[in-house]
Amino acid sequence: MSQDVDATPKEKRWRIGSLELLIIGLIALVLGQQWIVTFFTNPALQTASTIFVSIVVQAMPFLVGGVLLSGAVTAFIPASVWQRVLPKNKALAVPVSGCAGMLLPGCECASVPVAGSLVSKGVPASSALTFLLAAPAINPIVLVSTFVAFPGEPALVLARFVASLATAIIVGWIWLRFGQDSWMRMASRLHLVGDTKFETFRRTAAHDFLHAGGFLVFGAAIAAFINVIIPAEWMQSVADNPVLAIGFMALLAIVLSICSEADAFVASSFTQFSLTSKLVFMVVGPMVDIKLVAMQTGIFGRRFAMRFAPTTLVVAIAMSLIVGGVLLT
């Protein structure tokens, strides 16, 4: 884009505008509150707004924890550390970073900004992406909650671990072979470097929060509305057809955008569905869902997310079916 000529005056105008816009907008909303609230007496809209706020509130601590960690990675860990820790061979580095995913006890909201800061620190994209996929799926908290949610089904915990790790590693290798770093368009972080490490830390954290947070909100809103719109009766008939059930559980994982630390409880509540379709739900959910793809778009750019998410989805479903076929029968 070569709008350099008019960029400066346009920015100046916009810059004055946005703060005033915010203030005027807020005043208008506060004055119009009574009128707005009458809109929300519709029970469907009310339920959707509750679900929307609850997804955002539930995800916030994880998102903030993730951006603080990504700020810390950026500010306090020199790039040379990664070169020392990761094997020189990029193909070998992929499984190593997949297993490193066990060390980040968060959910997917946390791993997106962390992976973003790893890439900007010069970690090979294939490794950072494998970490991004593995961390929310195979960390100890998620595995324990899966164990708790499925009493008497320890094989499912193992299946989840194996299928998720395999998916993360395979997608990492696919990226290494076919991926192009030009698909990633990350916001410049130069302006985030402050006079002290602490300044860099907090600016990176705020920057990542603003980037990923808006998309989290977008994903939560879509998930909330779809949650309210899908007729409950559809579920029952779908569960009876094994192929439909798997496709449906994958779709549900994408749409519901549930935190990976909680998705096992949701999966187990679909009692009429097969174990393998629940496995699909739990492998796909932490890797591909609406809010996650939206956040990936925010951190890595749209061209990246458009390619990365479908690839991951296909591999995740395939791995779940294979692992499920071996371990869950």
Between residue 14 and residue 33, which ones bind other proteins under the rule CB under 8 A? 14-15, 18-19, 22, 29-30, 33
Q: Which stretch binds other proteins (CB under 8 A): 88-96, 133-141, 200-208, 319-327?
A: 200-208
Q: Which stretch binds other proteins (CB under 8 A): 123-131, 135-143, 182-190, 275-283?
A: 182-190
Using the rule CB under 8 A, which residue among 156, 258, 284, 292 binds other proteins? 258
Site for other proteins in 134-173 (CB under 8 A): 149, 151-152
Q: Is 6 in the site for other proteins (CB under 8 A)?
A: no
Site for other proteins in 218-247 (CB under 8 A): 218, 220-221, 223-224, 227-228, 232-233, 235-236
Using the rule CB under 8 A, which residue among 137, 250, 259, 279 binds other proteins? 259
- Total residues contacting other proteins by CB under 8 A comes to 82
CA distances from 46 to 52, 226, 253, 291, 308 (A): 10, 13, 23, 21, 34
Of 234 and 322, which has the nearer Cβ to other proteins?
A: 234
Total count of residues recorded for the chain: 329
Q: Is 213 in the site for other proteins (CB under 8 A)?
A: yes
Site for other proteins in 278-307 (CB under 8 A): 298
Smallest distance from other proteins to CB 143, Å: 16
Q: Which stretch binds other proteins (CB under 8 A): 9-17, 109-117, 136-144, 164-172?
A: 9-17
Of 178 and 233, which has the nearer Cβ to other proteins?
A: 233
Smallest distance from other proteins to CB 25, Å: 8
Using the rule CB under 8 A, which residue among 103, 272, 306, 325 binds other proteins? 272
Smallest distance from other proteins to CB 216, Å: 8
Site string for other proteins, 30-69 (x = CB under 8 A): x--x--xx--x--xx-xx-xxxxxxxxxx-xx--xx--x-
For the chain, the three-class secondary structure string (H helix, E strand, C coil) is CCCHHHHHHHHHHHHHHHHHHHHHHHHHHHHCHHHHHHHCCCHHHHHHHHHHHHHHHHHHHHHHHHHHHHHHHHHHCCHHHHHHHCCCCHHHHHHHHHHHHHHCCCCHHHHHHHHHHHHHCCCCHHHHHHHHHHHHHHCHHHHHHHHHHCCCCHHHHHHHHHHHHHHHHHHHHHHHHHCCHHHCCCCCCHHHCCCCHHHHHHHHHHHHHHHHHHHHHHHHHHHHHHHHHCCHHHHHHHHCCHHHHHHHHHHHHHHHCCCCCCHHHHHHHCCCCCHHHHHHHHHHCCCCCHHHHHHHHHHHCHHHHHHHHHHHHHHHHHHHHHHHHHHCC
Q: Is 114 in the site for other proteins (CB under 8 A)?
A: no
Q: CA nearest 48: which of 38, 57, 40?
A: 40
Smallest distance from other proteins to CB 54, Å: 4
Smallest distance from other proteins to CB 225, Å: 12
